[in-house]
Amino acid sequence: MMRLLSAAGCGLAVINSAFAAPGKYGIDRTLRFTDNGTFQLALFNDLHYGEAENLVWGPQQDVNSTRVTNSVLDNEQAQLVVLNGDLITGENTYKHNSTDYINEVVQPLLERNLLWASTYGNHDSDFNLSRHNILQREQTWPNALTRQDVSTPTSGVSNYWLPVYPSSGDADVPALLLWFFDSRGGNYYLQTSASTGESVPQPNWVDQTAVDWFTETRTHLCSQYGRDVPSLAFVHIPVNAMLAFQQSQNDTGVRPHYEPGINDDDPLAQQGYTEGQGDVTDGNAPVFTYNGEDVPFMQALLDTPNLIAMFSGHDHGDDFCFKWDTQLPGMSLKGNGLDLCFGRHSGYGGYGSWIRGSRQVLVTEEMAKEGVVETWVRLETGATSGSVVLNGTYGQDYYPAVPDA
């Protein structure tokens, strides 16, 4: 069964796309389906470069992470690499060298002349590390498509969109749109609390200003292109619907043969999730809170015609996908069939000992029209894991279980 995408009415406003002309930087920065009608993305989540840089094992982890990237890219034929958050472990770096780690992150991409686009994660913001400085460093290379389209003080940085054009035909109308969102988190750059002297936490959800930009831009693009173009979305911290699903399956968790993937971060940490310190002196446990901070963002996703799937990272021990097509327990929003997926922990920095890898996303021009994508995880060993088709029957189709390793 194929999930046919709906046509929807467009607003009247028109927006001009702000993209450099091909060749301006010496390489073609235009994303396009191949002559075979395919477009493939390689997603790298939670690379965590720069961890424990003064110890022997820290730099070695970065060497290992680069090995993962090289192994994946040698085994796949991606047209775009997505660096989906936590590129750097910001709390372990110094102000004078924190963004230097971006050089290591992108070196395998530069060697292959690959284009990339980033979202930023909670560890990409800390007292010594600025998201704005990461963006500035990225943009020193023509291969970087990362932008900042929303510039309010609360919006974060990596909110933007990219068009993917068809292999032939109308060069002005994309066959696919890619949306990138900044879920923020971490600590503010060079800020300390006047009362405690400690770093100042940054909210860890997609801000309302970014949601407003998204809904306005979505309407403008529909008007410009005369239709709602099929799209994919990327954000580092998952939305609450992923936790609600994880906890909803009759207390059995994610079903290994219907949502294949590791499911070891259970419960997962979603946008808006915070953990208090508790009071260890009187035995009180830490306080965990969530107050619906990402509901406006989730509503905007559900209101987006032809949005096929969204991909997240953050929870290193999860790499399953699920179809959000019901009203999940504890939620006021009802899903519309949007597929939500985790990537795979790609870097050797950060917690966890699962085999590293990279989620691959493959879509053809025809699949895009039908709301279908193929996805799998390419492991650093060269093997593949959790290959599924996100279509109208995903969640009903039976797949081999993924080893918990």
- Summarised one tens digit per residue, pLDDT across range 193-212 is 998 899 999 999 999 999 99
pTM summary value: 0.93
Inside any domain, residue 359:
yes
User: What pLDDT was estimated at residue 54?
Assistant: 87
Cα 155 to chain center, whole Å? 16
CB atoms within 10 A of CB 37: 16
In contact, 187 and 200? CB cutoff 8 Å: yes
Cα 245 to chain center, whole Å? 19
Inside any domain, residue 97:
yes
User: What pLDDT was estimated at residue 21?
Assistant: 37
Residue 334: pLDDT over 70: yes
Tens-place pLDDT, residues 349-374: 999 999 999 999 999 999 999 999 99
Residue 326: pLDDT over 70: yes
Q: Which of 171, 144, 179, 378 is nearest to 297 (CA)?
A: 179
Inside any domain, residue 215:
yes
Inside any domain, residue 15:
no
Tell me: cis bond preceding 267? Omega within 30 of 0 counts: yes
User: What pLDDT was estimated at residue 280?
Assistant: 39
CATH code for position 157 = 3.60.21.10
Inside any domain, residue 308:
yes
Q: What is the mean pLDDT of the chain?
A: 91
Banded pLDDT at 168 (limits 50, 70, 90): confident
Inside any domain, residue 157:
yes
Inside any domain, residue 396:
no
Bigger pLDDT: 197 or 161? Answer: 161
Banded pLDDT at 274 (limits 50, 70, 90): confident
Task: Tell me how far apart the alpha carbons of residues 7 and 26 are, in angstroms, rounded to a whole number.
Answer: 38
Inside any domain, residue 303:
yes
Structural domains in the chain (count)? 1
- Rg value, the chain, Cα: 20
Which residues, in sequence order, are CB contacts of 310 under 8 Å at separation 6+?
232, 233, 234, 235, 239, 301, 338, 339, 340, 341
Range of the domain at 246: 31-390
Question: What is the separation, in whole angstroms, between the first and last Cα of the chain?
Answer: 32
Tens-place pLDDT, residues 62-88: 999 999 999 999 999 999 999 999 999
Residue 397: pLDDT over 50: yes
The single residue listed with the structure tokens 């068009």 is: 163
Which residues, in sequence order, are CB contacts of 276 under 8 Å at separation 6+?
286, 287, 288, 289
Among the residue ranges 19-23, 104-108, 125-129, 391-395, the one predicted with the least confidence is 19-23
Residue 20: pLDDT over 50: no
Tens-place pLDDT, residues 83-107: 999 999 999 999 999 999 999 999 9
